[in-house]
Structure 1
Amino acid sequence: MVQPSTLKFLKTLRLNNNKEWFDNHKSDYQNAKTDFENTVQQLIDGLSKQDPAIKGLQIKDSVFRIYKDVRFSKDKTPYKTHFGASFQSGGKKAITAGYYFHLEPGNKSFAGGGIWMPPAPALKKIRQEIDYNFEEFEQIISNKEFIRHFSKVEGDALKTAPQGYAPDNPAIAYLKLKSVLVERQFPDELCTQPAVVREILKTFAVMQPLVQFLNRALD
């Protein structure tokens, strides 16, 4: 579970997103970061039992920095107002499908995953896998438990059919995707309860067939 003080820190940071405030509250940040990392470790431990590909993953290879890269952004606030962690073979920088937990106050937290904006060669392999094995892909995303948790597969999409695919291809809606993602929202109240780790792991288990399908394409 996440301590209420961690959500409070992130909420206050949103209202004071500047270096002076952050420096004056560095101890609060460290406490919040440690609390989030404790939850991440519990998720790594549990997920390793569900998906052997996650075994050996370290916290440092999973948790994203709170410091933003503002070089190419119109928003020059220096800090993210959420904590995030990715759980995937090879760590957060690997070009593989995986799982993700996003902690953000205001009922904006979620668990989900898939693959976000893979480079062109990897995306080409994923599209080919969906095209060749669309019946299997459909079975995964139409499973009742999958729909109950995620409702749909989403991601930025091309306006037209990708090169090499006909507009009337049965899988065209998914072949247009530039990311293949699912997510389940988590309210603040649940995030601060002991049950949250169990619920996140259950969410990851439901999406595991999708993750494995995508990673098979990348092997």
Structure 2
Amino acid sequence: MEHQVLTNDVLKFLKQLEKNNNRAWFDEKKAVFKAHEKSVKELYSSVLEGLRGTDEIEKLKMFRIYRDVRFSKDKTPYKSHFAGSFSRTGAKLRGGYYIRLKPGESFIAAGFWAPNKEDLLRIRKELELDAEEFRAVIGAPSFKKVWGAITGDELKTAPKGFDKEHKDIDLIRKKQFIFVRNLSDQEILAPDFVKKVTDSFVAVRPFFDLMSDILTTDLNGTSLLD
């Protein structure tokens, strides 16, 4: 099956939107925006189809172009990028995938953006007990070649109840567990974009498998799903 290919017109529109981020301009270009939004959704749907060949995906969510400016100093009404996320299915499959398209600033990401406090504590307790397998997975050469180093927000010091001198405190103090792969405009416009993204997301599965195992068991390895 042939995959949707993004056209440069989409990037041109986003550049114009960034320069003309106001309602009057956007309303005039509304039909053009809708056409580009449709093509991007088709592109993301192609990625979804590819992912479902290797993973269980519950849904694709396309994020709205409209910004929530209620609590922001930046009152521009529109985002100058397209973005979408893919949620894995069920309690046993953890983690999520993300794609952002923006001229010169496109990237794909995978991981855990906002783990709830119970999940975050469980992850930290696992790392406190033994982080060897975690480091082996994210440090594997084949993994790092695609995704590089782990990133995400972290505390400046140890979380409450954890030793700040622990040998794995660099991991324990993390609040997010995210991997990001930046993509050039040339890469996102290429015919193999969908394959490259799908292959990259498949490459993160060892990390998702490990994290899913951690988050569905207690520290003794007993399943929490039974």
TM over 0.5: yes
Secondary structure (helix, strand or coil) at the match of 2:157 reads coil
Bigger Rg over Cα: 2
Structure 1 or 2: larger helix share?
1
Q: Specify the alignment match of 1:155 in structure 2.
A: 152
Cα distance in 1, alignment partners of residues 167 and 86 from structure 2:
31
Q: Specify the alignment match of 1:14 in structure 2.
A: 18
2:59/2:88 contact within 8 Å kept = no
Unaligned segments of structure 2, at least 5 residues: 217-226
Which of 177, 182, 188 is the equivalent residue of 2:179?
182
Cα distance in 1, alignment partners of residues 7 and 118 from structure 2:
41
Structure 1 vs Structure 2 CA RMSD: 1.8
| Identity rate, percent | 36
Q: Specify the alignment match of 2:33 in structure 1.
A: 29
Q: TM-score, normalised by structure 1?
A: 0.89
Unaligned segments of structure 1, at least 5 residues: none
Q: Specify the alignment match of 1:75 in structure 2.
A: 74
Cα distance in 1, alignment partners of residues 207 and 140 from structure 2:
11
Q: Does 1:100 align with 2:104?
A: no
Residue 13 to residue 112, structure 1, CA distance change in 2 (3 Å): same
Aligned pairs for 1:159-174 within 5 A: 159-174=156-171
Cα distance in 2, alignment partners of residues 68 and 215 from structure 1:
32
Aligned pairs for 1:32-181 within 5 A: 32-51=36-55, 53-54=56-57, 57-59=58-60, 62-89=61-88, 96-106=94-104, 108-181=105-178
Secondary structure (helix, strand or coil) at the match of 1:49 reads coil
2:112/2:177 contact within 8 Å kept = yes
Per-residue deviation, 1:77: 0.7
Cα distance in 2, alignment partners of residues 217 and 39 from structure 1:
33
1:112/1:203 contact within 8 Å kept = no
Q: TM-score, normalised by structure 2?
A: 0.87
Q: How many residues align?
A: 210
Per-residue deviation, 1:133: 4.5
Q: Specify the alignment match of 2:223 in structure 1.
A: none
Note the alpha carbon deviations across 1:28-62, whole angstroms, 9 max, x for none. 111111111011111110011111x21xx344xx2
1:2 partner amino acid: L
